[in-house]
Amino acid sequence: MSYAQRKEIGTNRTLSIVIVALVHVLLGYVIVTGLAYNVVKKTVEDLKTFDVEEEPPPPEEQPPPPPDTLPPPPAISSPPRVLQLPNLSPMQAPQTPMVPQPPTLTAPPAPPAPPAPRVSQPRSVSGNLQGLIRDEDYPESAIQNEEQGSVTVSLSVGPNGRVSGCTVASSSGSRSLDSTTCRVLSSRARFTPAQDSNGTATSATVRQVIKWVLN
Average pLDDT of the chain, as a whole number: 77
Give the DSSP H or E segment for 99.
none
pLDDT in the model for residue 198? 87
Q: What mean pLDDT is predicted for residues 158-182?
A: 94
Residue 73 CA to residue 154 CA, distance in Å, equals 114
pLDDT in the model for residue 50? 44
Better-scored residue on pLDDT, 125 or 33: 125
Residue 90 has pLDDT above 70, yes or no: no
Domain 118-212 = CATH 3.40.1620? no
pLDDT in the model for residue 23? 76
Asked whether 156 and 185 are in contact (CB, 8 A), the reply is: no
- At residue 20, what are phi and psi to the nearest 5 degrees? -60, -40
Handedness of CA 14, 17, 19, 25 (dihedral sign): negative
Report DSSP state, residue 162.
B
Q: Describe the strand order of the beta sheet including 118-120 as a list of residue ranges.
A: 118-120, 194-196, 201-202
Q: What angle do CA 85, 90, 92 make, to 5 degrees?
A: 130
**Lowest mean pLDDT, pick from 86-90, 110-114, 165-169:** 86-90
Residue 94 CA to residue 91 CA, distance in Å, equals 9
Residue 151 has pLDDT above 80, yes or no: yes
Q: What mean pLDDT is predicted for residues 5-20?
A: 71
- At residue 165, what are phi and psi to the nearest 5 degrees? -165, 155
pLDDT in the model for residue 127? 86
Residue 132 has pLDDT above 70, yes or no: yes
Q: What mean pLDDT is predicted for residues 180-206?
A: 92
Task: Report the predicted TM-score, pTM, of the whole model to 2 decimal places.
Answer: 0.45
Centre a 10 Å sphere on the Cβ of residue 185 and count the other Cβ atoms it contains: 20
Domain ranges of the chain: 12-45, 118-212
At 157 the three-state DSSP class reads: strand
Residue 149 CA to residue 138 CA, distance in Å, equals 12
Written as one letter, the residue type at 87 is: N
Residue 116 has pLDDT above 60, yes or no: no
